[in-house]
Chains A and B, each alone.
Chain A
């Protein structure tokens, strides 16, 4: 079954404690992306990746890092989380080619930074 998985699904942490949210896809997609969802602000893109070792900033990259060492995985790293990073995070894997061009979203990770 084609899917995007994220872990953990829920996380409560404290300010400054480094954390990583993992994202994995089994569809062999080249493109992957991270978003955060906040009430009234919709989804805002944090980072995206076009292929292994190729990443670029989205609209709200401050305070986040990503890596793409292998095609299936695209972890989101918060080196020093702050309360304003409390949010719902979604990873997406993007099919391309022909007339596909669709984003497949993971189930989300709800992060609370105290």
Chain B
């Protein structure tokens, strides 16, 4: 069975500082990993994904994520946080054999303070 863990319920950073939102995963086979963001009272929006290739993945709004196979991690990062980045972030893993089956983490609330 696949699983995703987001160990931090909440991450607080000051505007302009780098941010990291952590995610670890467990899958059998090759991992298909995703980050989604949910702004208040909105649906989820795709940020970025790792399927194969470079371990550093670049996505929307200046976000990037680093895939680390040995640590089974896929942490979301941004060099300089904005107040508008404040939102709920979800890490997700897709089954490598069954494209319809996805598992999401519990989410991490990011708050960026001016």
Contacts and interface: CB of A to CB of B under 8 A. Distances in A.
Interface of A: 31, 33, 35, 40-45, 48-50, 56, 58-59, 90, 92, 94, 96, 99, 101-108
Contacts of A96: 99
Contact of A33 (B46, B102, B106): B102
A106 B44 CA distance: 8
Nearest to A32: B100
A101 B102 CA distance: 11
Contact of B43 (A31, A44, A56, A108): A108
Interface string B77-114: 00000000000001010100011111111110000000
Contacts of A40: 9, 106
Given A31-B99, A45-B102, A90-B43, 7 more contacts: A33-B100, A40-B106, A42-B106, A43-B107, A50-B100, A92-B44, A99-B51
